[in-house]
Amino acid sequence: MALGNSLAGAQGKTVEDQNRIDRTMAPGCAIALYKPAECDRHTTASAARRAELKSSQ
């Protein structure tokens, strides 16, 4: 598992890619490895990316 500040807000090329990013990010948020703002930024970016992927299908 790769954890780093650049992961927050990462965008997958597919829904499955986004799922993998989210599954990698979640434990870091759960144990407070990331700041709350980073977790919030990722949650927002992930939702936006999922909406983009869904609309392009």
Model pTM score: 0.81
Exposure letters 7-45 (e unless 16+ CB within 10 A, then b): ebbbebeeeeebeebbeebeebbeeeebeeebbeebbeb
The answer to whether residue 18 is domain-embedded is yes
Residue 19 domain flag: yes
Domain limits for position 44: 14-55
Per the domain annotation, does 8 fall within a domain?
no
Residue 33 lies in a domain: yes
pLDDT digits (tens, 9 = 90+) for 4-56: 666 777 889 999 999 999 999 999 999 999 999 999 999 999 999 999 999 98
Instruction: For residue 6, tell me if it sits in a domain.
Output: no
Q: How many domains does the chain have?
A: 1
Tell me which residue of 8, 15, 14 sits closest to 45, measured CA to CA: 8
Q: Report yes or no on 7 lying in a domain.
A: no
54-57-26 Cα angle (round to 5) = 35
